[in-house]
Structure 1
């Protein structure tokens, strides 16, 4: 069976297991105060070209999103997000459980824009609405789209003009950075928002994300917030060792995502050549295809994938590639269908 369900379906890069094994006899300080974690932070800062940012390692994307939204917020504040945003439909109400409300914005795509934000912020002038204080976007989006540099800069400019923070969910930021449509690099990220994170879970780590905080207002008491939200690892050095290993080798962080993108591109082109309709223009390692019930039944005999929605005319199949997807997997699947 071919596997296109997600991009976190294998344990990790073998190099990370080797790095952890090399440290088996060590005794490290806990909670991320160890030498491995500090070295990893400095290596990441070097890649970002910004030694002023704070970096914190957390277990996964849900904890990163809770912390990214909650920091610097009062109980009457809210976060603006697209209706298809990950924090809306995929976090089991964890954002609302912090006491903060997500105010949703309809978008014809999965992206927010300055124009949409301008139109919607005006709705919160009443005395008894929430007070929007943060904007949430994910890159890539839930529909696999990649923001351009100009799009993000326009959103961030709007945020600064209106006293809002910009938080970028970076669970798949590596997938965005290697895409053909991407016109920025790691070094640009810390100047494009107030807080974001580098995803590890979906790019070959055992687990873990690296939260990067640029805005001084959001740095205060962040360690206490991590502890309060249950996202602090006593054995933080395990994360530190993985991030240290990846960022100690030039190009390692994006290496697997480049492979995943190449396989997804082959898959998207192949599907279109076979006459299938893509639901959204191909952008990253998530490929969305319009399929009939009969097609779904046939595909499910040879491959694992997810159905992300449906209407009277078709179902929406999502095929995701990872750092371990082989060219033969794509070729074999296309040949069989």
Structure 2
């Protein structure tokens, strides 16, 4: 069985495993308060150009989102997200469980615009309605699109106009920053958002993400919020070790090497599917692609390939999702393309 179901179906990149093994016998304090985590923090601060950043080793994406949103908002404040946003669709109501409404808005390409922010404020009346206080975006989006620098600048200006926080979910940030045509850098992001996280789980790590807080209001007592949300990893140093290995070397680091590989494998898949005469849903430029295939062919493909059946398309066709990861090989890509014939 060949896996195109997700970008975390394998354990970890060999270089990350090697780094974990080499640090295995080192004794440290727990909960991310250790020299190994501190080393990762310093590498990240230098890479994003923000020595003032408050950086935390986190377990996973959902807990990072819930913790950050809960840390930022008062009980009567809400977060604005795309209708396809992870916090709205794939986190089992975790943000709402923390007491904050998600205002989900439809988009054409998974990306929010200043017009969406204005629409969210049209829903606000007075003290009988929640206050839209935070804008949630993800890069890549859940459908594989990416934000440009101009789009992020525009969102920052719109958030400032409405006194809103801007928060970026970076679960697939490695794929976003290595996508064809991308003009954003990690430094750009750190200069424009109030908080974001760098995803490791979907970019070659065994486990973990790094939350980066750039606004003192969100950073206040953040560790308390981590603990209260059951997200404090006792062996936090394991996340630190992995992110040191991922990001040492800056723009030439393993983090970007993995992102480029995933995108390249997805691009080869896409080209082969197009050559076979099939189209796509959406305009993904990263490691998630969404082919539209005959239902009969999908059933045949399921015999040898594991993937996500994304959505119905029409009576005879459906959309599937194919995702490439750090370990995806050209042989696997070629096998899928050959199976279309």
Q: Unpaired segments of 5 or more residues in structure 1?
A: none
Aligned to 1:270: 272
User: Is contact 1:50-1:190 (8 Å) kept?
Assistant: yes
Q: Aligned residue pairs: how many? A: 337
How far off is 1:30 after superposition?
0.7
Q: How does 1:99-114 map to 2 (within 5 A)?
A: 99-114=99-114
Equivalent residue, structure 2, for 1:193: 193
| 1:264–1:287 Cα contact (<8 Å) kept | yes
Q: How does 1:33-72 map to 2 (within 5 A)?
A: 33-72=33-72
2:215 maps to 215
Q: Quote the Cα distance in structure 1 between the aligned partners of 2:127 and 2:77.
A: 13
Equivalent of 2:254 in 248, 252, 255: 252
Aligned to 2:171: 171
Give matches, 1:42-191, under 5 Å. Answer: 42-191=42-191
Match of 1:20 in 2: 20
State the secondary structure of the residue aligned to 1:128: coil
Preserved CA contact (<8 Å) 1:265 1:282: no
The answer as to whether partners of 1:135 and 1:165 remain within 8 angstroms in 2 is yes
Runs of 4+ in 1 over 2 A off after TM superposition: 245-250, 311-314
CA distance in structure 1 between the partners assigned to 2:247 and 2:84 by the alignment: 32
Pairwise CA distance, 1:219: 1.0
* Partners of 1:120 and 1:100 in 2: CA distance: 15
SS at match of 1:278: coil
Q: Distance in 2 between matches of 1:208 and 1:91?
A: 17
Structure 2: runs of 5 or more not aligned: none
Worse-superposed segment, 22-31 or 90-99? 22-31
Q: Which residue of 2 aligns with 1:325?
A: 328
C-alpha separation between the residues in 1 aligned to 2:2 and 2:194?
Answer: 40
Distance 1:122 1:181 in 2: 34
Residues 266 and 289, structure 2, Cα contact 8 Å, conserved in 1: yes
Q: 1:312 to 1:126 in 2, by over 3 A?
A: farther
- Taking structure 1 as the reference length, what is the TM-score of the superposition? 0.97
Q: Please give the root-mean-square deviation of Cα atoms over the aligned residues, in Å.
A: 1.2
Most deviating of 304-313 and 81-90: 304-313
Distance between the aligned counterparts of 1:254 and 1:8, measured in 2?
16
CA shift, 1:311, in A, is 4.2
- TM-score normalised by structure 2 residue count: 0.96
**Cα pair 1:268 1:282 within 8 Å, conserved:** no
Whether contact under 8 Å (2:120, 2:132) holds in the other structure is no
